[in-house]
Structure 1
């Protein structure tokens, strides 16, 4: 007989490595934006070391700020702080 696992997470918020709710969208969108910026710069003929520096710096900044916001405001706090 087959054994099926039951999803016990129904109704919970989505979480990935501690990031919850809207922070996942900020995280993914920021990293995607940095990737597109680096690709455009590289195709435009910018120095590859400059592209590498901006890509690594931008990605590090996005990761750091997203986890800082998640830790400071919590799951729904960012929506309350926004004007």
Structure 2
């Protein structure tokens, strides 16, 4: 007998395409169909419509499969995180470091305090 909740906690997968890539492929296919519809309304040649829409969908599907194999399930999120990182941090002044140092300095106990003469 099969368990009812066999796939709980697993990513959505269809023909080896997982998670976010599946949504991206659906968006690419819908975009290709909308491109074909737009070209049809503009009275373009049927062969042009076919090659353009199938070309866009084919390149998009190839790109998604390539990304899925190269970066894995969370590759899109990793790339977005990589893009949001700054290339370099430029610091023109040392004032902020001096202020930070003043705020984090330990207070040195005085010679006459209660802990200074204690021996253990």
Work out the CA distance in 2 between the residues paired with 1:77 and 1:5. Answer: 31
How far, CA to CA, are the matches of 1:4 and 1:72 in structure 2?
33
Deviating above 6 A after TM superposition, structure 1's stretches of 4 or more consecutive aligned residues are none
Q: Mind listing any 5+ residue stretches in structure 2 that lack a counterpart?
A: 84-120
Indicate the structure (1 or 2) with the bigger Cα radius of gyration. 2
What is the aligned residue count?
A: 81
- Distance of 1:48 and 1:37 partners within structure 2: 13
Q: Which residue matches 1:77? A: 75
Q: Does 1:59 align with 2:70?
A: no
Give the one of 15, 18, 21 matched to 2:16.
Answer: 18
RMSD over aligned Cα atoms:
1.5
Q: 1:75 to 1:40 in 2, by over 3 A?
A: same
- 1:31 pairs with 24, 29, 32, which one? 29
More relative contact order in 1 or in 2 (CA 8 Å, sep 6+)?
1
The structure with more helix, counted as a fraction of residues: 1
Superposed counterparts of 1:37-52, under 5 Å:
37-52=35-50
Q: Distance in 1 between matches of 2:41 and 2:3?
A: 47
Unaligned runs of 5+ in 1: none
**How far is the alpha carbon of 1:46 from its aligned partner?**
0.6
Relative to the length of structure 1, the TM-score reads: 0.88
